[in-house]
């Protein structure tokens, strides 16, 4: 009954889907419904339906920063994957819908000789998720190029200018907001040329291949950088590279990553996180903060 109603609103919807198939960590139990709206209208109607029927919803992009609970999610997962429009507005301004991947946006900017996103090479994110997390690398971050964000909240479409987004290190006003849904983002790039942008992308690709090619499923860096010492450095100094709980392992290549070597569970990852936190606190007297987001079943 509920599924039929959801499908009538959003035809690209599925039932009883493992979250492990929707996250780069390849971990997570079943979500009751997974919906892929392909227009803002569908998205709006779907959220309205969830609110009216008191069904919990959770929005995901590429699922590359999420540790989904083994118990799954008893509600609607809204995946933005089908919101894919990119519009060149001229003068370096580009509008991209939430589900555009950074790889697609980077390709678009490269083809149009626009510079400012080259740091994002190989980050497996969507535009929406990247704004939520203020994703960044090699000294660049999404807040450098983001001008405004269009969101859906309380059934209203609102445009928020950058000054209202409170960007910080891997943080924005949206980071813990479960009711704000990013629809699209207006970016401002520097006018450059295809050759320069291509060169920058290649350089960053080589750097990443050297340091971050961990070879297993992951959600990227597990912990946020603290003021002075990098979590990866402290974890390595504690001798934790390769430490395992079940199939969850501190990557021997990049100790800031926890990898899923086969069939890790969220419970195993959380137990490993606890061990790492305790060791770092003991040796460095630092409290590691999670960068990854926990998606917990209700
Ligand atoms: C191999 C690997 C390398 C990585 N390297 C980097 C790196 O160099 N730098 C870096 O910053 N991160 C990195 N990450 C982490 C991750 O890619 C980023 O945090 C990214 O911004 C997450 O985007 P996403 O689309 O996957 O979001 P998701 O993981 O799907 O979601 C993240 C959060 O955003 C919310 N969200 C997503 N879309 C929307 C939306 N449209 N509206 C409202 N909320 C939304 C979700 O609810 C969740 O809270 C890496 C991850 C991996 C697996």
Q: What is the CATH number of the domain that holds 57?
A: 3.30.43.10
User: Does pTM top 0.95 for this prediction?
Assistant: yes
The pLDDT of residue 214:
67
Q: Are residues 224 and 291 in the same domain?
A: yes
Specify the number of domains making up the chain: 3
Last residue of a domain, one of 197, 226, 261: 197
Q: Does ligand 1 come within 6 angstroms of the Cβ of 182?
A: yes
- Strand-pairing partners, residue 269, are none
Is 170 annotated as catalytic?
A: yes
Answer yes or no: is 161 within a domain.
yes
My answer on whether 94 and 61 are in the same domain is: no
Sheet containing strand 86-90, strands side by side: 86-90, 93-97, 181-188, 146-153, 156-161
Residues 6+ positions from 37 with CB-CB distance below 8 Å = 10, 12, 43, 46, 78, 80, 82, 83
Q: End of a domain among 82, 99, 123?
A: 82
pLDDT of residue 176: 85
d(CA 10, CA 288): 40
- Residue 178: its pLDDT value, please? 82
pLDDT along the chain (298 residues), means of 10: 96 98 98 98 97 96 98 97 98 98 98 97 96 96 98 95 96 92 98 96 90 85 89 96 97 95 98 98 96 88
Q: Identify the active-site residue in 13, 64, 266, 291.
A: 291
* Burial of 238 (C-beta count, 10 Å sphere; 0-12/13-18/19+): buried
Give the model's pLDDT for residue 227: 76
Q: Is 8 a member of any domain?
A: yes
181 lines ligand 1 (CB under 6 A): yes
Of 61, 134, 147, 151, which Cα lies nearest the Cα of 104? Answer: 61
Concatenated DSSP letters of 190-205: EE--HHHHHHHHHHHH
Q: Which of 56, 82, 108 is the last residue of a domain?
A: 82
Which two structure tokens, joined as six digits, stand for 173?
């006003």
Annotated catalytic, 291?
yes
Residue 205 domain flag: no
Catalytic residue among 221, 251, 255, 266: 221
Q: Would residue 143 show up in a list of annotated catalytic residues for this protein? A: no
Range of the domain at 159: 86-197
Task: Decide whether any atom of ligand 1 lies within 6 Å of the 269 Cβ.
Answer: no
Q: What is the pLDDT of residue 209?
A: 83
Q: Give domain status of residue 92, yes or no.
A: yes
Q: Is 133 in the pocket of ligand 1 (CB under 6 A)?
A: yes
């Amino acid at each position: 009954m509920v599924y039929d109603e959801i499908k009538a609103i959003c035809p690209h919807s599925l039932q009883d889907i493992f979250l492990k198939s929707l996250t780069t960590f390849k971990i997570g139990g079943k979500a009751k419904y997974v919906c892929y709206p392909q227009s803002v209208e569908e998205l709006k109607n779907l959220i309205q339906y969830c609110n009216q029927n008191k069904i919990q919803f959770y929005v995901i992009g590429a699922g590359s920063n999420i540790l989904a609970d083994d118990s799954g999610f008893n509600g609607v997962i809204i995946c933005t994957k089908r919101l894919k429009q990119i519009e060149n507005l001229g003068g370096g301004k580009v509008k991209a819908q939430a589900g555009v991947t950074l790889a697609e946006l980077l390709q678009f900017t490269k083809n149009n000789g626009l510079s400012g996103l080259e740091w994002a090479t190989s980050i497996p994110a969507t535009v929406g998720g990247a704004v939520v997390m203020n994703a960044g690398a090699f000294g660049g971050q999404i807040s450098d190029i983001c001008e405004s964000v269009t969101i859906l909240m309380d059934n209203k479409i609102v445009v928020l200018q950058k000054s209202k987004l409170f960007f910080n290190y891997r943080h924005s006003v949206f980071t813990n907001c479960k009711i704000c849904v990013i629809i699209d983002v207006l970016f401002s790039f520097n006018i450059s040329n295809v050759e320069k942008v291509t060169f920058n992308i290649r350089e960053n690709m080589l750097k990443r291949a050297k340091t971050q090619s961990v070879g297993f499923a992951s959600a990227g860096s597990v912990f946020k950088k603290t003021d002075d010492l990098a979590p990866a450095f402290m974890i390595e100094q504690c001798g934790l590279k390769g430490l395992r709980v079940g199939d969850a392992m501190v990557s021997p290549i990049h100790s800031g990553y926890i990898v899923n070597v086969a069939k890790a569970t969220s419970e195993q990852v959380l137990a490993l996180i606890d061990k790492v936190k305790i060791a770092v606190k003991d040796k460095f007297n630092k409290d590691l903060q999670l960068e990854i987001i926990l998606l917990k079943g209700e």
